[in-house]
Amino acid sequence: MAMERFIAALRASHDLVIIDSAPLLPVNDTKILARLVDSVVFVVRWERTPREAAKTAIRALKDVNAPLTGFVLTRADTKRFRYYSYGYQSNYGAYNKYYTD
pLDDT band at 97 (very low <50, low <70, confident <90, very high): low
Q: How many CA atoms lie within 13 A of 89 on its CB side?
A: 1
Q: Characterise 49 by phi-psi region: left (phi > 0), alpha (psi -120 to 50), beta (else).
A: beta
Phi/psi at 41 (nearest 5 deg)?
Answer: -110, 120
User: pLDDT by residue (tens digit) across 9-62?
Assistant: 999 999 999 999 988 888 888 998 999 999 999 999 988 888 999 999 999 999
Query: Would you list the domain boundaries of the chain?
Result: 20-100
Neighbours of 48 (CB within 10 A): 9
